[in-house]
Structure 1
């Protein structure tokens, strides 16, 4: 069922980007008269504004799946609860690197084509201030290219071409590298691993940003640290599910979320408490989807599971294609259209494109237990 959640999240992020790139902004929309149902659709589409927060749920899911194997060993109390570091990094590399490399190459091809024929958007020189701000840091200078080749895209504050969503891959790479070290701490003391480390990060990083102005300029480092507790929350979920079952873990997560939300509303502390609430909410969403038989029984789950298997490709490939379509619209019509149909069909094209890229690349590097063909998904909740 968690595959269905990943599929939903990937589509959610994609639809949000389509809304940005292929549909007129609010300031332009309100200056033109529309029918009531168009207004309803337009204002309803504001629900797709939280793509950045949706990626945090991806982080929680990543921590869950990465730590699940070790959590199952702890439950069985086996002696073989050490991590084969070499095998771990080989599996992570084969899983992440080939599609990522193909995404960089595809981004370059689409951007070269777009810059040649519809250059205004790529040069951030359209008449739309929002789009110009969005594309001002999408470049191919030495900083963006070098960081992308180090598997740390956007870590310098500049994206690799138009593929801004790759920023989350940099975070994941750091968390993957940190996992063996964190696991040593977990084997020694679970309180330090799940309590002292995340709370220390959430409390000390904001203090460091206030007391040490130089640290605030290290935006990538501070943001990676601040989102690490979200990843660890997913790892904690894996152990809760293994020890107590998904329903008990869900109740615990709901209770913690309620308490932390109340604390946040009362204190209004900045970043730290907001992140606590966000990571716990991500945990609740994941557990609810995993434990509810009613949700599992819904037929649409099959579709989202299908998308979930392809979610990585959909996520890392879609934005350059949407950017190319948007560049064409600016070159031919001077801006984003008032109608939402272009955003709809652009989303369909981006999903088909991502799934096609999956078939050509990612599916050949999945672990064996993840290689599920479309016919095998039919009829399964």
Structure 2
């Protein structure tokens, strides 16, 4: 990993963290719609653990933010360091990544939701959404809501589209993508006054539009960027550690992250303190895995396989909710008829998740996996149209 460029280096462990985080979000929604609430479930230590581990979706999103801050922050800082950063290329790269999945995900949400409502008009999940956590009582499919979701103001100025509640985090991500480079340029000593004024203007406008809730979670994203800013020094530190020390640090970081996620879910804390604690733990997890592991044999193949699923994690995240709702309407149409947490029903839930995972893989092949090719196509078109604009910018 050390010999690869910052922009192309792949880290299998961090890929696994991303894939597991997406899975935790999906697990949480499947549990909410398919299984009875913990209060009415048969109590016991195993049940408590299962419900705890399937209740970490919100905390997993915070881990996503830290990972995003690490990778996107690393890319932005690398470009600024080499003098190749420009707002137009950066915006094009980020929006291509987001829209290539988001636009078809919104269309799929509309189609799946409408088919589900027509096929299962008496299903509680469609007609009595207020009974379920995370399901809107009155889902919005208006043109304004659709456009607002494309403009990344869902849950800020418009509702999220249809039953696709997880889209709220994409709005947060977008504003972090915008605010971070503006923050860097605003405080960059070598920035020209024009660039600094433009950056401050973006910061003020972005903060005003995105609002308090978005800004309160920005520190989580920035923690990932902070790790990225010190990546080389951290990597050297990890390389100098004895294998036993490194194993201990990494094991501790994993347990700390999971424990903090559970603690922040189970404890009522003021403001966003629980999210910040989760972000700190996640940043430490990223820190100790800045240098990837080098497993060989069966362990290496298993790591590579799970790492590969991260290539479709964005698709998995973006389309799973309408599919979970649809399958819940088909299989468990009544809120009171949700399953107990036993082995047969857990096996059925696993089949549901595998089916959604396969659908996400197919969706991702048509969208997410076309990101780099689409970026290259757009970049060539922009260079051909305005070649003089692609000189190194001054800051």
TM-score (norm 1): 0.73
Match of 1:44 among 44, 50, 60: 50
Tell me which residue corresponds to 1:327: 329
Deviation digits for residues 199-219 of structure 1 (CA, Å, limit 9, x no counterpart): xxxxxxxxxxxxxxxxxxx99
Deviation digits for residues 203-238 of structure 1 (CA, Å, limit 9, x no counterpart): xxxxxxxxxxxxxxx996211000111111111111
Q: What is the alpha-carbon distance in structure 2 between the residues aligned to residue 131 and residue 283 of structure 1?
A: 32
State the 1:246 CA deviation. 6.3
Match of 1:57 among 59, 63, 84: 63
Equivalent pair of 2:33/2:328 in contact (CA under 8 Å): yes
Equivalent pair of 1:313/1:358 in contact (CA under 8 Å): yes
Match of 1:20 among 17, 22, 32: 32
Equivalent pair of 1:124/1:131 in contact (CA under 8 Å): no
Change (3 A) 1:335 1:229: same
Deviation digits for residues 300-359 of structure 1 (CA, Å, limit 9, x no counterpart): 322221111111111101111010011123437963222323322111111111111001
Give the 5 Å matches for 1:75-94.
Answer: 80-81=82-83, 83-94=85-96
Q: What is the alpha-carbon distance in structure 1 between the residues aligned to residue 365 and residue 162 of structure 2?
A: 24
Q: What is the alpha-carbon distance in structure 2 between the residues aligned to residue 70 and residue 158 of structure 1?
A: 30
Change (3 A) 1:23 1:182: same
Tell me which residue corresponds to 2:19: 7
Give the 5 Å matches for 1:95-106.
Answer: 95-106=97-108
Change (3 A) 1:101 1:142: closer
Equivalent pair of 1:3/1:305 in contact (CA under 8 Å): yes
Tell me which residue corresponds to 2:8: none
Q: What is the alpha-carbon distance in structure 1 between the residues aligned to residue 293 and residue 228 of structure 2?
A: 19
What is the total number of aligned residue pairs between the two structures?
A: 322
Tell me which residue corresponds to 2:220: 230
Give the 5 Å matches for 1:174-253.
Answer: 174-188=175-189, 221-245=211-235, 247=237
Tell me which residue corresponds to 2:391: none
Match of 1:125 among 109, 124, 128: 128
Q: What is the alpha-carbon distance in structure 1 between the residues aligned to residue 184 and residue 368 of structure 2?
A: 28
Q: Secondary structure at the match of 2:132?
A: helix
Change (3 A) 1:236 1:97: same
Tell me which residue corresponds to 2:360: 354
Q: What is the alpha-carbon distance in structure 2 between the residues aligned to residue 364 and residue 133 of structure 1?
A: 31
Equivalent pair of 1:107/1:320 in contact (CA under 8 Å): yes
State the 1:53 CA deviation. 1.1
Tell me which residue corresponds to 2:170: 169
State the 1:153 CA deviation. 2.4
Q: Secondary structure at the match of 1:68?
A: helix
Q: What is the alpha-carbon distance in structure 2 between the residues aligned to residue 97 and residue 353 of structure 1?
A: 19
Change (3 A) 1:14 1:132: closer
Change (3 A) 1:26 1:157: farther
Equivalent pair of 2:148/2:158 in contact (CA under 8 Å): no
> Which consecutive unaligned segments of at least 5 residues does structure 2 have?
1-11, 191-207, 240-245, 377-395
Q: What is the alpha-carbon distance in structure 1 between the residues aligned to residue 335 and residue 49 of structure 2?
A: 24
Equivalent pair of 1:55/1:168 in contact (CA under 8 Å): yes
Q: What is the alpha-carbon distance in structure 1 between the residues aligned to residue 226 and residue 176 of structure 2?
A: 15
State the 1:124 CA deviation. 4.0
Change (3 A) 1:246 1:165: farther
Q: What is the alpha-carbon distance in structure 1 between the residues aligned to residue 133 and residue 70 of structure 2?
A: 37
